[in-house]
Amino acid sequence: MLRHFYWSLIAMVAIPAMSFGAELLPEEMPIEHVIDRCIQQKLDEKYIPSAPLADDRTLLRRTTLDLAGRIPTLSEAQSYAASTEPDKRSKTVERLMSSPDFAFHFRNCLEGLLSDGQRNSPGEWREYLLKSVRQNRPWDQLFREMMTGNEEDPEIKPALNFLRTRARDLDQLTNDSSSLFFGVNVSCAKCHDHPLVDDWKQDHYYGMTSFFNRIYLTKKNVVAEKFSGDVKFKTTKGEEKVARIMFLTGATVDQPVIEKTAEQIKQENDEINRQTKEDNAGPPPRPEFSPRARLVELALQAENNHFFARNAVNRIWALLMGRGLVHPLDQMHSANPASHPELLEWLSRDLVAHQYDLQRLIRGIVSSQTYARSSVWDSASEPPSADLFALAMIRPLSARQYSLSLRIASLNPETIVATTAAEWPNRRDELERNADDLANQFEVPGENFQIGVDEALLFSNNSRLWDDYVRDDGATLVGCLKQKNDQVLQIETAFWTVFSRSPLPDERSTCEAFLAERSSNPIAGLRQLVWVLLASPELRFNH
Amino acid sequence: MALFDARLRAPIDPGVSRRGFLGSSVMASTAAFAANMRVLDALQTPTLAAELKRQHKSVILLWLAGGASQLETWDPKPGRLTGGPFRAISTDIPSVQISELLPKMAQRMKTTAIIRSLNTRNGDHGGGTVLMETGRAKEAAVDYPDLGALIARELGRADSQVPDYVSLYSETEGRHKGGPGFLGARYAPMFLTESMIPPNIRRLDSISETDHQDRAAFQKLLARRFIDKHSNPSVASHGMAYERVRGLMSSESLFDINQEPQSARDFYGPTQFQEQCLVARRLVEAGVPFVKVARAWWDSHGQNFETHRELCADLDQGMSALLDDLGQRGLLENTLVLTFGEFGRTPQINASLGRDHFANAWSASLSGCGIKGGAVYGKTDADGQTVVEGEVKAGDLFATIFSAVGIDPTKEYHVGARPIPIVDFGCQPIKDILA
Amino acid sequence: MSADPTKFKVARTIRLKSIGLCIARLPQTERLFVGGSDFKVYEINLTAENPEPIEFQGEGHQSYVTGAAMVGQQLVTSGYDGRLIWWDVEQRVPCRNVIAHERWIRKVVASPDGRRIATVADDMLCKVWNADTGDLLLTLVDHKPMTPHHFPSMLYAVAFSTDGLFLATGDRVGHVVIWEVASGKKLSEVEAPVMYTWDPKQRRHSIGGIRSVAFSRDGRRVAAGGIGTIGNIDHLDGPSRVEIFDLQVGQRVQEISDTTYKGLVEQIAFPVSESWGIFGGGDNGGFISFYDTETGKPLHQSKMPMHVHAFVLNDAEDTLYAAGHNQLAVAEFKAEANEEQKLDPAAATTGN
């Protein structure tokens, strides 16, 4: 019990708009340098060495997975390995970020983030996100569009999907909004009973709820807002209270007093009633006062925007680094400080200063040395704690990263090389869609992610993988290997295609022995070899 | 009782323990390239039941999806307007009466305890299901594991060659997979819906048995380096998942009731639910710690009495056969058999002679392992409208289930830094019905 | 003729404490007898100044009272307790109590001459009794005790032909049997499987069954009532359904499936003098429908204030008394209704 109180208590302690101003590194420093300085400083304080930088092919694979949402193709991997240009890494980052793959992938990331693990979001919502990424629409603008939207503007209308999918559950709407946009999980403050700080904590929960409680869906599933409606709650002392519309910082919104006759009020209510019952009720009326619009206004004001900015930084950081600077991601409060507060602060300041340009932030992070560290801890000492970022974290691929990578790894690499740049966007989109049925069978990675036996059984016995991905025709890797007479070359090509690397000597000899045993049926041997590579953990994780 | 084929009772060297089997062959090194697919078949013999008796505890949840009526099962109110037409009948426990729709169970109350005072407040299918599957209300911030995953986590073995959470839920209304929540996919259910044979458990015809084995061994060999280099639990789980494949494939036969003598099949009965009860016994006997058999669909808004006449007959036959069979095999003292669903049904009878959703005063049953047979806990008023004695929340029921099978109900998990107790805050086991 | 379905109108309702499941009327009177879900039998005398239900006394039923029939001056009721009880309607006390079936009795009907009664029950037997002595005369065996899906079946419906020579019985799975009363021989059978409503996938049970049967006046046809195909069998959300079979050729000649008023057809009546049938039943609400039995077209349909479990007609066959969910309703459909004489407006709303 006590621990629950503790949690409830800290969950809602507001973070001051803390100012590291004087101590923060200069604004004009490149993001990647700031990251490396802050991370190194803490390691130095603790006399902990960092892991060496990852080798070229590992870093290429990692960066490609993070920026393109797939493994590198054979030609990408080989040309990177062959390149002697000193700035090949930064050039690759630029190439990938301007590639069509980036838009598809980062769209998928946003979709995953905003749907909170749910699958199968509507096509128009995915289109909307794709377009937003392609235009690099600032994060605050996306937030505004998701919250206030406009059912009549076809460009922005799909943004309302965020509200639409949650509109029937006010708790979920409040909590998801608060957690996904501000990093604060308010659900603990709904109904517990700490004697000292209860009231204002509930005020916060219900204050946030008050931004959303007038939202409703019409019969035609249009997101609309009522003209009035307060959130009432009972304090643990049994007192009935009407919640003030209140943001996490404690900033409140005063409702304008609008004089209305009883007749007007009745008309408004009748209209809303009609909207929820009739299919052809026409566009729903818009109230003069919209609490959700005020949430956007308030949350983005300079004195309040630290929640919004830090959360964005923290979530992007976690996406690329495997854990947040504040972890768990929805526990941004003073009792759960950031591992590197001055870094979080600097990055947040930078994000605000650059109009919430997430792509600038992404580019900065993937360009850092911190991002480029090896994920292997070779030292005899225990690996350092994950929140020091001394080595890269192993991350499971998302369902789509994995299904698309499997697709790419199993295709004849020559057919990919033959695809022109102009054809690639459609081809990639098609490959990804084509692998959706597999993607739907993979777990959505979360905290303490584990591979379930369902996945291993799927690989082992499902006809899709065996009869499709490792069949032996001209379209597949097996088909490509079949054309090569040299066993060494077969093994080399298979490893490069799937893992972006050469086999190690013992791997090569094991494979040779395996194929030799199957010399009577070499194609069966190659199919099994490719299956084994596809089913390996090395492909399953970003490392 | 000549129910079972004598061959199945043939003596097998009692010194051979399950651990010994697995230790010596199934867990054999990659170099051997061979898992003995026959080993697990041996697990189905009664001798292994003896091993199970010593070590393994299991839970079978008969999930009454849609919400069965407490008035037509465990808490009859004969002679009241809310009571419906069915009589209450005496049982083998003199002080206890249950509905006449469960005549066979009435003769088996010695192994069964009833809770008549569940007040779970959520009368919505979705919310009620989550509540009764996880033992607590849905919370936006935490993805709670369901009962099956919790039991699998606590009673399963990490290297188990049999599934540790099997959910039999045919394509009926209310089908819900549930799942491991924050415990992770290791404890996800093997979920059987379209077919009563688990998906992807059978080798494709297009690959030979030898090739399948060799391929798996080769995969393991190549994976080893990566797994060893990265000491990471997620990566390790990849290896564990693949290592379990061969064992699970050999457990396919557990799902095949054709392997039971006709006498055993007749004993359970011909309906899908009854057959699934038999599968549940086969699974538990082989060491599966949690089996859910979902029987849908009890949502009797219209014609409640006709519906319960059918469904209770199905339940009474399947459940009593299951308890008898487990008892005869010496498994019942280590197997807890539960019945409940997402809620009960209204005492009020509606104009379609139906009963609607009702979560304020309903019943559950617990039989076998760790249970004080014949006990009745809690009381509802004369019409069954409210709990008047011993109110029980979903979390209390869960704490009782855990206690019955030897899991500490005060145990905590951690999600990130946040401690999560295994049962909801403030919930306690019901000592009165625990042995 | 005196009746006109288009003039159908609920004239009054009387509140019942429980669910009225069966109804009988003493001929030439407006004395009605209703059995219900409180295990009790009541008399409601409509000619009384304030017709309140009067409870019968003595050792009565121990479960739902589901059948009621008049044999001469006596009332016979049947119940889910498996008992047949003969009542003295003047004293309102039982005069004979017979354990008639091992399972629920679904209905009791009397032969037109009042000398025999027939019962159907969930032991899947139809039994014919001497109405005067209570002796068992015949046990008719044909309906299967289990459904094809291994659930206990139910035998809901029974009716005598107008001449009293034949019986029709109908069960859960839609099986209808025609019997010769004198010999107890099965003469023929017809099937109405749609009414079973078995849901093989989503819910794996059924809620339908043949709930009512009736012979046409000439005895050449038999009608069976129930419910049609239901999407979601949690509710009685399917078309009310009647199938009419020509016994001469053993074929269905009418299929009446009606979504205007959904639910079970609980009772069917063919007035002596008319060429139409009256169907009553309901889902959460209730209905009475008049159908032309030649064309299968509705003549008039009316919503009732409650689910109708049973009804009887008056001697003139222009007034209907329905027992149902917590109410008894009186409805008139007189051809030459004289508005002034018809009813006392104050009484029309009694109990509403």
Reported as a single tens digit per residue, the pLDDT across A83-128 is 999 999 999 999 999 999 999 999 999 999 998 667 778 899 999 9
Let me know: does B212 contact A527? Beta carbons within 8 Å.
no
Q: What are phi and psi of B142, to 5 degrees?
A: -125, 135
- Using CA atoms of A55, A59, A61, A64 in order, give the dihedral in degrees to the nearest 10: -160
Considering the domain architecture, whether residues A35 and A163 belong to the same structural domain is answered as no
**What integer pLDDT is reported at residue A158 of this predicted model?**
93
From A112, A142, A143, A107, select the one nearest A126 (Cα to Cα). A107
Residues of C in contact with B87 (CB under 8 A): 62-63
Interface residue of B183, B215, B244, B428 to substitute, partner A, most A CBs within 10 Å:
B215
In Å, how far from its chain's centre is CA C238? 20
Rg of chain C over all Cα atoms, to the nearest angstrom: 19
Q: Measure the CA–CA gap between A101 and A426, rounded to whole angstroms.
A: 10
**B257: amino acid identity, one letter:** I
From A379, A318, A295, A313, select the one nearest A349 (Cα to Cα). A313
Q: Specify if A1 maps to a domain.
A: no
The answer to whether residue B351 neighbours chain C at the CB level (below 8 Å) is yes
Helix (H), strand (E) counts: chain C: 2, 28
Report the greatest alpha carbon distance in chain C: 58
Rg of chain A over all Cα atoms, to the nearest angstrom: 26
| Residue A95: partners with Cβ closer than 8 Å, 6 or more residues away | none
For A500, the domain range is 396-542
Residues of B in contact with A526 (CB under 8 A): none
Residues of A in contact with B245 (CB under 8 A): 453, 456-457, 460
In Å, how far from its chain's centre is CA C202? 31
What would the mean pLDDT of A348-368 be, rounded to a whole number?
98
Under an 8 A CB cutoff, do B306 and C150 touch? no
CB pairs under 8 A between A and B: 165
C-alpha to C-alpha distances, B110 to B329, B332, B369, B380, B433, nearest whole angstrom: 17, 12, 12, 22, 12
**What integer pLDDT is reported at residue A7 of this predicted model?**
39
Out of A173-177, B156-160, C34-38, give the one with best mean pLDDT.
Answer: C34-38
Q: Specify if A101 maps to a domain.
A: no
What would the mean pLDDT of C258-270 be, rounded to a whole number?
95
Under an 8 A CB cutoff, do C201 and B352 touch? no
* pTM for the whole structure: 0.83
C-alpha to C-alpha distances, A308 to A8, A167, A293, A301, nearest whole angstrom: 21, 22, 15, 10
**Positive or negative, the Cα torsion across B215, B217, B218, B223?**
positive
Q: Measure the CA–CA gap between B362 and A483, rounded to whole angstroms.
A: 69
Average pLDDT, rounded, for chain C: 93
pLDDT tens-digit readout, C137-165: 999 999 999 999 999 999 999 999 999 99
Which pair of structure tokens corresponds to residue B76?
């009859």
Alpha-helix runs per DSSP H in A149-213: 161-164, 170-182, 198-212
- Beta bridge partners, C44, equal C32
- Using CA atoms of B272, B273, B274, B276 in order, give the dihedral in degrees to the nearest 10: 90
Considering the domain architecture, whether residues A147 and A171 belong to the same structural domain is answered as yes
What would the mean pLDDT of C267-292 be, rounded to a whole number?
93
Residues of B in contact with C154 (CB under 8 A): 306, 309
**C255: amino acid identity, one letter:** E
Among the ranges given (A176-190, B394-408, C299-313), the one the predictor scored with the smallest mean pLDDT: A176-190
Let me know: does B294 contact B167? Beta carbons within 8 Å.
yes
CA distance B112 to chain C (A): 25
Under an 8 A CB cutoff, do C154 and B309 touch? yes
| Cβ-nearest to B302 among C204, C207, C306 | C207
- Helices A487-499 and A74-82 cross at an angle (nearest 10°) of 90
- Chains A and B are touching, with contact defined as 3 or more CB–CB pairs separated by less than 8 Å: yes
Under an 8 A CB cutoff, do B227 and A537 touch? yes
Whether the pLDDT of residue A532 is over 50: the answer is yes
Let me know: does B322 contact B339? Beta carbons within 8 Å.
no
Whether the pLDDT of residue B30 is over 90: the answer is no
The residue in chain B having the minimum alpha-carbon distance to the alpha carbon of residue A528 is B215
Considering the domain architecture, whether residues A226 and A206 belong to the same structural domain is answered as yes
Q: Measure the CA–CA gap between A98 and B15, rounded to whole angstroms.
A: 67
Fold of B33-433: Alkaline Phosphatase, subunit A (3.40.720)
Q: Measure the CA–CA gap between A250 and A348, rounded to whole angstroms.
A: 21
Q: What are phi and psi of B152, to 5 degrees?
A: -60, -40
Residues of B in contact with C204 (CB under 8 A): 170, 172, 272-273, 295-297
The answer to whether residue C145 neighbours chain B at the CB level (below 8 Å) is no
The answer to whether residue C189 neighbours chain B at the CB level (below 8 Å) is no
Between B181 and A366, the higher pLDDT residue = A366
Q: Specify if A99 maps to a domain.
A: no
Residues of A in contact with B186 (CB under 8 A): 450-453
CB atoms < 10 A from the CB of A72, how many? 26
What would the mean pLDDT of C292-300 be, rounded to a whole number?
90
Let me know: does B315 contact B101? Beta carbons within 8 Å.
no
| Cβ-nearest to A462 among B185, B200, B233 | B200
Whether the pLDDT of residue B181 is over 70: the answer is yes
| Cβ-nearest to C203 among B84, B172, B306 | B172
Whether the pLDDT of residue A198 is over 90: the answer is no
Strand B290-296 to strand A541-542: parallel, antiparallel, or no bridges (unpaired)?
unpaired
Which pair of structure tokens corresponds to residue B241?
């998942």
| Per-residue pLDDT band at B67 (split at 50, 70, 90) | very high
Q: Measure the CA–CA gap between B96 and B74, rounded to whole angstroms.
A: 10
Whether the pLDDT of residue B415 is over 90: the answer is no
Considering the domain architecture, whether residues A443 and A379 belong to the same structural domain is answered as no
Under an 8 A CB cutoff, do C235 and B81 touch? no
Considering the domain architecture, whether residues A220 and A322 belong to the same structural domain is answered as no
Between A374 and B233, the higher pLDDT residue = A374
Q: Residue A217 burial (CB < 10 Å; 0-12/13-18/19+)? A: middle
**C100: amino acid identity, one letter:** A
Interface residue of A374, A402, A450 to substitute, partner B, most B CBs within 10 Å:
A450
Considering the domain architecture, whether residues A69 and A202 belong to the same structural domain is answered as no
- Chains C and B are touching, with contact defined as 3 or more CB–CB pairs separated by less than 8 Å: yes
- Beta bridge partners, C158, equal C169
Q: Measure the CA–CA gap between A101 and A64, rounded to whole angstroms.
A: 9
Residue ranges per structural domain of chain C = 142-321
From C176, C282, C257, select the one nearest C221 (Cα to Cα). C176
| Cβ-nearest to C205 among B84, B269, B310 | B310
- Beta bridge partners, A224, equal A216
Let me know: does A349 contact A302? Beta carbons within 8 Å.
no
Under an 8 A CB cutoff, do B222 and A377 touch? no
Considering the domain architecture, whether residues A328 and A413 belong to the same structural domain is answered as no
Helix (H), strand (E) counts: chain A: 27, 8
Rg of chain B over all Cα atoms, to the nearest angstrom: 22
Q: Measure the CA–CA gap between A70 and A406, rounded to whole angstroms.
A: 9
Straight-line distance from the first to the last Cα atom of chain C, in angstroms, rounded to the nearest whole number = 31
**What integer pLDDT is reported at residue C80 of this predicted model?**
95
Considering the domain architecture, whether residues A257 and A147 belong to the same structural domain is answered as yes
Fold of C142-321: Methylamine Dehydrogenase; Chain H (2.130.10)
Which pair of structure tokens corresponds to residue B248?
């699970």
**What integer pLDDT is reported at residue B140 of this predicted model?**
64
CA distance B108 to chain C (A): 22
| Cβ-nearest to A187 among B140, B214, B425 | B140
Q: Specify if A108 maps to a domain.
A: no
CB-side neighbour CA atoms (13 Å) of C248: 6
Which chains does chain C touch, 3 or more C-beta pairs < 8 A? B
What would the mean pLDDT of C309-319 be, rounded to a whole number?
96
Residues of A in contact with B418 (CB under 8 A): 7, 328, 331
Strand B58-65 to strand B335-340: parallel, antiparallel, or no bridges (unpaired)?
parallel
**What integer pLDDT is reported at residue A22 of this predicted model?**
53
Interface residue of B33, B212, B238 to substitute, partner A, most A CBs within 10 Å:
B238
| Residue B317: partners with Cβ closer than 8 Å, 6 or more residues away | B104, B268, B269, B271, B274
- Using CA atoms of B42, B48, B49, B55 in order, give the dihedral in degrees to the nearest 10: -140
Let me know: does A490 contact A413? Beta carbons within 8 Å.
no
| Per-residue pLDDT band at A378 (split at 50, 70, 90) | confident
CA distance B78 to chain A (A): 40
Let me know: does C323 contact C16? Beta carbons within 8 Å.
yes
The answer to whether residue B348 neighbours chain C at the CB level (below 8 Å) is no
The answer to whether residue C19 neighbours chain B at the CB level (below 8 Å) is yes
Let me know: does B74 contact B376? Beta carbons within 8 Å.
no
User: Which residue is it, tokens 């032991």?
Assistant: C123
DSSP A476: B
**What integer pLDDT is reported at residue A280 of this predicted model?**
85
Let me know: does C32 contact C43? Beta carbons within 8 Å.
yes
In Å, how far from its chain's centre is CA A79? 29
Q: Measure the CA–CA gap between B371 and B401, rounded to whole angstroms.
A: 9
What would the mean pLDDT of B112-119 be, rounded to a whole number?
98
Residues of C in contact with B170 (CB under 8 A): 201, 204
Which pair of structure tokens corresponds to residue B236?
């390790």
Among the ranges given (A180-189, A462-471, B323-332), the one the predictor scored with the smallest mean pLDDT: A180-189
The answer to whether residue B270 neighbours chain C at the CB level (below 8 Å) is yes
Q: Which of residues 55-114 of B touch C (CB under 8 A)?
A: 66, 79, 81, 84-87
The residue in chain B having the minimum alpha-carbon distance to the alpha carbon of residue A442 is B185
CB-side neighbour CA atoms (13 Å) of A424: 16
**What integer pLDDT is reported at residue A334 of this predicted model?**
78
Q: Measure the CA–CA gap between A418 and A427, rounded to whole angstroms.
A: 12
Which pair of structure tokens corresponds to residue B257?
């009731």
Boundary (domain end) residue, out of A237, A270, A300: A300
CA distance B240 to chain C (A): 36
CA distance B139 to chain C (A): 29
Between B272 and A335, the higher pLDDT residue = B272
From A21, A79, A38, A72, select the one nearest A364 (Cα to Cα). A38
**What integer pLDDT is reported at residue B1 of this predicted model?**
33
Average pLDDT, rounded, for chain A: 89
C-alpha to C-alpha distances, C293 to C129, C169, C177, C279, C301, nearest whole angstrom: 31, 20, 21, 11, 14
From C78, C116, C133, select the one nearest C100 (Cα to Cα). C78
Considering the domain architecture, whether residues A291 and A343 belong to the same structural domain is answered as no
**What integer pLDDT is reported at residue C337 of this predicted model?**
53
Alpha-helix runs per DSSP H in C99-257: none
Residue A115: its H or E element: helix A100-115
The residue in chain B having the minimum alpha-carbon distance to the alpha carbon of residue C308 is B351
**What integer pLDDT is reported at residue C340 of this predicted model?**
47
Whether the pLDDT of residue A493 is over 90: the answer is yes
Whether the pLDDT of residue B52 is over 80: the answer is no
Which pair of structure tokens corresponds to residue A96?
């990938």
Average pLDDT, rounded, for chain B: 86
**What integer pLDDT is reported at residue B24 of this predicted model?**
31
**What integer pLDDT is reported at residue A16 of this predicted model?**
47
pLDDT tens-digit readout, C152-205: 999 999 999 999 999 999 999 999 999 999 999 999 999 999 999 999 888 999
Number of domains comprising chain A: 3
In Å, how far from its chain's centre is CA B93? 25
Q: What are phi and psi of B198, to 5 degrees?
A: -60, 145
**What integer pLDDT is reported at residue C183 of this predicted model?**
96
Q: Render B306-369 in DSSP notation, one character per residue.
A: HHHHHHHHHHHHHHHHHHHHHHHTT-GGGEEEEEE-S-EE-SS--TTS---EE-SSEEEEEEET
- Beta bridge partners, A240, equal A234
Under an 8 A CB cutoff, do B141 and A185 touch? yes
User: Which residue is it, tokens 């032909």?
Assistant: C161
